[in-house]
């Protein structure tokens, strides 16, 4: 098990008119939300991610469809299959992550604790491993 990673169940308001779920910062995310982005129209077989963040934390939700989130802390690897819009995966900083096996028309919402900063990325897995295993 990779420490601090967790699946967080979101509120689900069932209604005959259609269901509703909600995310409020600090209540449902362990961090202040500075940014939201989403990944969509992913061609079959493509892989997103393949990096770690020095500071940024993430909260990933499969708003539609399904995909796998592969996490690696430099020692262990764990895969989370997300396929419900009322579960979020919390990923702390310092974790290598990839997202793959996107279903057709899947939509990945990613809430982030920092604004976009290319300098926060570690894009070389060997560099990441060296940093983690120091």
Catalytic choice (51, 54, 100, 129): 51
Catalytic (active site) residue 51: yes
Rounded least distance, CB 114 to ligand TYD, Å: 10
Rounded least distance, CB 34 to ligand TYD, Å: 10
Q: CB nearer to ligand TYD: give 12 or 70.
A: 70
In order of 48, 62, 65, the CA distances from 16 in angstroms are: 35, 22, 21
Sign of the torsion formed by the C-alpha atoms of 50, 47, 70 and 58: positive
Question: For the chain, what is the radius of gyration of the CA atoms?
Answer: 15
Any idea what the Cα angle at residue 82 is, between residues 15 and 116, rounded to 5°? 100
Chain residues binding ligand TYD by CB under 6 A are 35, 37, 39, 48-49, 51, 116
Q: CB nearer to ligand TYD: give 39 or 70.
A: 39
Q: CB nearer to ligand TYD: give 13 or 117.
A: 117
Active site residues: 51
């Amino acid at each position: 098990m990779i420490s601090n990673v967790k699946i967080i169940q979101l509120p689900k308001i069932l209604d005959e008119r259609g269901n509703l779920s909600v995310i409020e910062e600090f209540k449902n995310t362990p961090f202040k939300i500075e940014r939201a982005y989403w990944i969509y129209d992913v061609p079959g077989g493509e892989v997103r991610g393949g990096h770690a963040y020095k500071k940024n934390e993430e909260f990933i939700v499969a708003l539609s469809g399904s995909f796998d989130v592969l996490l690696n802390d430099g020692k262990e690897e764990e895969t989370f299959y997300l396929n419900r819009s009322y579960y979020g995966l919390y990923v702390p900083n310092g974790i290598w992550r990839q997202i793959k096996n996107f279903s057709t028309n899947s939509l990945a919402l990613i809430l982030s604790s920092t604004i976009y900063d290319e300098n926060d990325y570690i894009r070389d897995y060997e560099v990441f491993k060296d940093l983690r295993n120091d």
